[in-house]
Amino acid sequence: MQPPRVPPKLVIPDMPRPGDRFTSVYKLLQNLYGLKDAGRTWGQFLHKGLIDRGWQQSSIDSCLYTKQDIILVLYVDDACLMSPNKALINKEIKSLQEQYNLTDDGELQDYLGTRFTKLPDGSILLEQPRMIQQILEMVRLTADQVKTHDSPASSANILDKDPDGKAHDYPWNYRSVVGSLSYLQAMICPDLTMAVQQCARFCNDPKESAGTCT
């Protein structure tokens, strides 16, 4: 989703050369991508267009809008429409295309790195294979080397500080891996929360035992 395209009209003024005395500044007539307030301007522009079309913004999450039986999720310029009524979705897409340069990618399959698979029973499976593969590469493991464990982890299995243990010396950054696991559990794997929380407690001074658990 993007603002409407403006007919190409590029005016390049004479720019000062190094060493030239130049006491004037250029004034932008419109916002420019990359400026510090560009995101805010885009958000205001998009919000107004949605409100004018009858959408209501959630009071809990500003990225969430609802209208009749449709839910709209936004992340900057990536939008996801969800509804049991496909005709309503198509109608809203056409309405939004009147103001925005919007492309329809069809049925939801991948959104912000998360893969969506609709199962025969009507439920939806969420996966992040690229993120998982990235974590495996960080710890220098292949899929066939990974051992499976029950999840969620038992609250009885508490990782202690191990003050006399050997310092973490694995060839990977402990904090980076724990941070990636934390992102994964927050996005699609809440069953990892207990295990990740235990590992995150020792990011400041991880021991070999903590690295093994990770």
Domain ranges of the chain: 1-106, 127-213
Using CB atoms within 10 Å of the CB of residue 203, give its burial: 0 to 12 exposed, 13 to 18 middle, 19+ buried: middle
What's residue 7's pLDDT?
53
What whole-number distance in Å separates Cα of residue 186 and Cα of residue 113? Answer: 14
My answer on whether omega of the bond before 152 falls inside 30° of 0, hence cis, is yes
- Selected residue with higher pLDDT from 185 and 2: 185
pLDDT at 5 over 60: no
Check whether 80 has a pLDDT greater than 70.
Answer: yes
The amino acid at residue 86 is: K
How far from each other are the two terminal CA atoms of the chain, in whole angstroms? 39
Give the model's confidence band at 87: pLDDT under 50 very low, under 70 low, under 90 confident, else very high. very high
Tens digit of each residue's pLDDT (9 = 90 or more) over 95-105 = 988 888 888 88
Give which of 157, 200, 168 is closest to 182, Cα–Cα: 200
pLDDT in tens, 30-77: 777 888 888 888 889 899 999 999 999 999 999 999 998 999 999 888
